[in-house]
Chains A and B, each alone.
Chain A
Amino acid sequence: MAKQIYTKYEMAKYLRKEALPTALCPGCGGGTVLNAFANAIDQLKIDPRDLVVVSGIGCSAWIASPYFLADTLHTTHGRAIAFATGVKVGLPDKKVVVISGDGDLAGIGGNHLIHAARRNIDITVILVNNFIYGMTGGQVAPTTPFGAITTTTPYRNIEHPLKIAETVASAGASYVARWTTFHVYQLIESIKKALTVKGFSLVEVVSQCPVQFGRRNRMKTPAEMLRWFSKNSIPISKAKNMSPEELEGKIIIGEFVSREKPEFTEELNKLIDEVAQYYRLGGEDAD
């Protein structure tokens, strides 16, 4: 059953035909993410007319915009979540999804990311973490592992990577999970959950960019990168009992938080109803 889900032709109904083929490199993890997202939408039976997908700038930003057949807003670099905030307030009954890269959402757009999580606005963010600025030619990213080689760290990266899922979890999101493109089934389940949860949800997908990252770090082929993900991933339950030294260089996968708390657009509309009601009924300056 599982295998049959992944025949590409079945999910093609969710794609904007006139925009195909995609511009992603062969073997790019972006394809897996698009596939997983389409499957999640399909399994949840979400009508794409009830979806607005927003993205920033970068290879990962192209995954759903323009390729996914929904209302799509392809914005400026780093600002997708802020644009999506306006969309969600205007259309609180629609599913608003942001799909973009780690550089886009956590580098230049880091401020919007943590504040949207704090606000707990009902937006689902699928953040594709490929450790690199892919589109601009493989420069160091805020997620690049310590010691890795990139075009702007030709000797080695001396900065420490940002733990995105952990950061967003502590910023106040309702749901946060991390998987890799190796963990496709878990990823689909997680995206489904993120889409269903009310509040800010983030699914971080560690994804392969063989062209800009793998090639410079002794993982030329997509398969090598996936093997690396599979070998280095530690479930969060296990990671809890491990020391920071043991976790060095590992990818912690699983659900980081899943909790209920007041959601922004709902609170905003509640507030408006209260205030509007008061003035409609002739409060204050009753005449």
Chain B
Amino acid sequence: MIIRGDEPEQIGLLKKLYPKGNYFMQGDEAIAYGALFAGCRFYAGYPITPASEIAETMARELPKLKGYYIQMEDEIGSIAAVVGASWTGLKSMTATSGPGFSLMQENLGYAVFTETPLVLVDVQRSGPSTGQATKGAQGDFFQARWGTHGDHPIIAVSPTSVEDSFWETIRAFNLSEKFRIPVILLADGIIGHTREQIRIPDPEEVEIVYRKLPANEEEAKYPFGDVHGDLIPPMPLFGNGYFTHVTGSTHKENGLRDVYTPEVHDRLVRRLHKKIEVHEKEIQKWEEYYTDDAEILLVSWGVSARPSLGAVIEARKKGIKAGLIVPKTVHPFPGKRIKELSKKAHTILVPEMNLGQMILEVQRFVREEVPVIGVNKIGGVPLTVEEILKEIESSAERSRHRSAD
């Protein structure tokens, strides 16, 4: 089993197998390599376009690093096996797309409630249902947030390029390990299948986080207790003689089921939320471009972020004060920062490949006087710089008129 302590050997192997330098690869492959550099040594999945290349890469590369690949009978089994493996200490991942993501939701909830670290990659594709199976989309923004039932927090991160896919996957693992929570990587079929040059670093350049383990028998007795006051319980792994009980039913700090006492449920669910809330700064990440004086603020994510940046650059050339913020952690949403930026803006545009999902989050944080306008495109073809620029220009035009009368 590969866990802390094996790093020197692992670093040697990574260096040898994937020497640092420039590579030409798909977003899906970059996700797989990111996982390998993050220390992922267990993968269970079920094939689906456009995520299958992640499985294929893992099946080929994991054994070289003494890691395990299993193709399960379906997506429900895949995430179940990933949870099981995570309780033995293996950093574990599965990858799927829309319909498979839907099938994983029940066990995603199980992972949330049992505070099981894992990374679930959703390479978004066009939907609903089988939709345009081979085409990319950004329609799972809320499935990531609210797909499973009950009150629960979640972390979801979203990459904007092939190279970014490598680094965001590593970040997904680190967040998952640090906060004992499943982390969703909201990728998409367009980046997943695009080939670009990416720089593979030395493994030493990559910061790796491991979950906290109990320091002693006493701590191990409270697999769901806030023993350190940071709301993150140390995780007593299976096989260490701790007799740990893990259940998806409401449980007390010692892991035993108690579904009758309102306070027990309240305490547990609130701690899970608070764990993410108080560490929000560490979890959230976003990028800003030309936001200092932006009058037209673009908020865009994932595959739509690059044409958005292109459009902002073009707009600046034309003297329009446009700026862009790209949430890289999409849940929890960086609403406070958007609120700040929106104070200077007269218009907010939200380009995304759906009929308006992230825009609802943006609207929650923006004062009513500022129009929040979606730039939406569906059908499997990404937004272009021109399409977004056109919206920026007409917003600029409208505001000129407004200030004229």
Tell me if B63 counts as interface (CB < 8 A to partner A): yes
Q: What's the tally of chain A residues with a CB closer than 8 Å to chain B?
A: 40
Q: Are B81 and A85 in contact (CB under 8 A)?
A: yes
Q: Are B107 and A76 in contact (CB under 8 A)?
A: yes
Task: Determine the distance from Cα of A91 to Cα of B244 in the docked complex, in whole angstroms.
Answer: 15
Task: Determine the distance from Cα of A73 to Cα of B81 in the docked complex, in whole angstroms.
Answer: 12
Q: Report B32-50 CB contacts with A as 1/0, cut-off 8 Å.
A: 0000000000101000000
Nearest chain B CB to A60's CB is how many angstroms away? 15
Tell me if A72 counts as interface (CB < 8 A to partner B): yes
Q: Which of B234-250 contact A (CB under 8 A)?
A: 238-239, 241-249
Tell me if B65 counts as interface (CB < 8 A to partner A): yes
Tell me if A132 counts as interface (CB < 8 A to partner B): no
Residues of B within 8 A of A52 (CB): 238-239
* A interface secondary structure, majority: helix
Contact of B84 among A54, A275, A287 (CB under 8 A): A54
The residue among A71, A90, A280, A287 with the most chain B CB atoms within 10 A of its own CB is: A90
Asked whether A83 and B81 contact (CB < 8 A) given A111-B73, A268-B68, the answer is yes
Tell me if A30 counts as interface (CB < 8 A to partner B): no
Q: Report B88-121 CB contacts with A as 1/0, cut-off 8 Å.
A: 1110100000000000001100100000000000
Task: Determine the distance from Cα of A94 to Cα of B66 in the docked complex, in whole angstroms.
Answer: 19
* Chain A residue at smallest Cβ distance from B1: A90
Q: Are B84 and A85 in contact (CB under 8 A)?
A: yes
Residues of A within 8 A of B89 (CB): 90
Asked whether A87 and B238 contact (CB < 8 A) given A73-B84, A76-B80, A82-B72, the answer is yes
Q: Which of B116-158 contact A (CB under 8 A)?
A: none
Residues of B within 8 A of A73 (CB): 84, 87, 238, 246
Residues of A within 8 A of B256 (CB): 16, 18-19, 66
Nearest chain B CB to A265's CB is how many angstroms away? 9
Residues of A within 8 A of B17 (CB): 279
Asked whether A76 and B110 contact (CB < 8 A) given A66-B247, A91-B239, A279-B17, the answer is yes
Q: Are B85 and A87 in contact (CB under 8 A)?
A: yes
Q: Are A90 and B85 in contact (CB under 8 A)?
A: yes
Residues of A within 8 A of B4 (CB): none
Task: Determine the distance from Cα of A106 to Cα of B76 in the docked complex, in whole angstroms.
Answer: 15
Asked whether A72 and B246 contact (CB < 8 A) given A91-B238, A111-B74, the answer is yes
Residues of A within 8 A of B73 (CB): 82, 111-112, 115
Contact of A89 among B68, B110, B244 (CB under 8 A): B68
Q: Which of A7-58 contact B (CB under 8 A)?
A: 16, 18-19, 48-49, 52, 54
* Chain B residue at smallest Cβ distance from A62: B257
Q: Are A272 and B245 in contact (CB under 8 A)?
A: no
Residues of A within 8 A of B84 (CB): 54, 73, 82-90
Residue positions of A touching B, CB distance < 8 A: 16, 18-19, 48-49, 52, 54, 65-66, 69-76, 79, 82-91, 94, 111-112, 115, 268, 271-272, 275-276, 279-280, 287
List 27 contacting pairs A-B, 8 Å CB cutoff, sorted by A: A19-B256, A54-B84, A66-B256, A66-B257, A71-B242, A72-B244, A72-B245, A73-B238, A74-B246, A74-B247, A75-B248, A76-B80, A79-B76, A86-B44, A87-B84, A88-B84, A89-B42, A89-B85, A90-B1, A90-B84, A90-B88, A90-B238, A112-B73, A112-B77, A271-B63, A275-B63, A276-B65
